Amino acid sequence: MSDVLIDNIKKIKAHIGIIGLGYVGIPLALRFLEKGFKVTGFDVDKKKIEALKNGFSYIKHINLDIIVKAYKEDKFVPTDNFKKLSEPDCLIICVPTPLTDKLDPDLTFVQQTAEMIAGRLRPGQLIALESTTYPGTTDEILLPMFENTGLKAGKDFFLIFSPEREDPGNANFNTRTTPKVVGGVTKECRKVGEALYNSVIDKVVVVSSTRVAEMTKLLENIFRSVNIALVNELKILCDRMEINLWEVIKAASTKPFGFTPFYPGPGLGGHCIPIDPFYLAWKAKEYNFATRFIELAGEINTSMPSFVVNKIQDALNNKEKSLKGSRILILGVAYKKNVDDDRESPAYHIIDLLQKKGAVILYNDPFVPQLKKSRKHNFGLSSMDLTTDLLSGVDAAIIVTDHSAYDYNFICMHAPIVVDTRNATDGLEEIYREKIVRA
């Protein structure tokens, strides 16, 4: 049965189903469509389905021309009808894996998706999980659920884990050029998974199991989390020592070996780095193991918004102003520059802390016109035009996200205080020495 599916994949006759049409699912759908596959996209959000049918991109940096053309030719079908899960030959799960309020893994979306697939699973299908999770999820949760149908993995159906590696706004790598890690619950599963991704990805890296693939994704992001925590801690120390850490990093980066530059910021954002380390820390408890290094990095990174707020408060105090009642302009709420992705953005935590201290918050972000409601926050704010009047009318402007669209000289010229969390004002310190505060 695996040979039949592999042959259909190689001949581009396989029907691809992608569950979850967000920052991971849409680029993946585009790649399969580029290669000529028929794709059905599943999502519970009816607004997304209608937007795709009308050719509207709800992710600003993604062009939907290929999807519009494929939809007209019946090669792409967006739907919220999960009864159609039996139709595709290959199902790829790209649903969110958030944390609970207690920082435990929340696999609700994965489990609900798996239950719907299990109810319609048919012989010959491949199921690929791409959602980031702890080692053991695929073979401990998905595998028993699917085999309870009476079908056998590696014989009747095929189950793999292949972690997503999307980086919104990255101009150097895209879905095709980013190597893909694939692990299967059996050798046959692995073989089919390798064939699937080989059809659309330049390089596929095959590993021995789904657990190895799951751990690979966590290592990638824990590596970044720990190193970012290191420079964030050094930022606090360098602030007290009156040393410019960005200049230090720039100098250290001239070493051609043994050093990789990481940069401090106002806190971690995005769906991966602030969340993934806690998945492994939670799973490690089953093995009576404390991930002290990982948890310490998490503590440092989550404390950075408080550090930024303290720097704002100090800057206002130096001007004989109280934070309470001050008008604070947040510049950038996306978690990284030049994208509209505001998931887990440190800007939200900074705004929350400032409001609790009585500050009046305004914001501007050319990519995020309104602050979205989340489980923790509902600020109800809209982006304001970045004008001379706006900048001169606030007590401080805070650069949280260093979008390329910002004219930092213009900002420094008109704002009374500029708190810079991203080194965006590098080169302007001599001109605006009395205004710029590093945080």
Catalytic residues: 272
φ, ψ of residue 14 to 5 degrees: the values are: -70, 145
Q: Which alpha helices (DSSP H) does 138-270 contain, by range?
A: 143-147, 187-198, 210-241, 245-252
Burial (CB < 10 A; 0-12, 13-18, 19+), residue 180, is buried
Q: Kindly provide the b/e burial profile for residues 190-228, where b requires at least 16 CB atoms within 10 angstroms of the residue's own CB.
A: bbbbbbbbbbbbeebebbebbbebbbbbbebbbebbbeb
Burial (CB < 10 A; 0-12, 13-18, 19+), residue 177, is exposed
How far is it, in rounded angstroms, from Cα 127 to Cα 193? 9
Cα angle for residues 277, 282, 284 (degrees, 5° grid): 95
In Å, what is the CA distance from 216 to each residue of 6, 201, 209, 263?
25, 18, 11, 23
In the numeric block, the tokens 């100098």 are attached to 251
Three-state DSSP class for 99? strand
C-beta separation of 249 from 228 below 8 A: no
How far is it, in rounded angstroms, from Cα 151 to Cα 146? 7
Three-state DSSP class for 58? coil
116: enclosing H helix or E strand: helix 108-118
Nearest to 398 by CA among 426, 360, 356, 438: 438
Cα angle for residues 64, 36, 49 (degrees, 5° grid): 40
Between helix 210-241 and helix 292-302 the angle, nearest 10°, is: 50
Q: Kindly provide the b/e burial profile for residues 311-326, where b requires at least 16 CB atoms within 10 angstroms of the residue's own CB.
A: bbbebbeeeebebeeb
CA contacts within 13 A on the Cβ side of 333: 26
Local structure of residue 100 (DSSP, 8 states): -
In Å, what is the CA distance from 123 to each residue of 90, 148, 158, 197, 417?
11, 13, 9, 20, 64
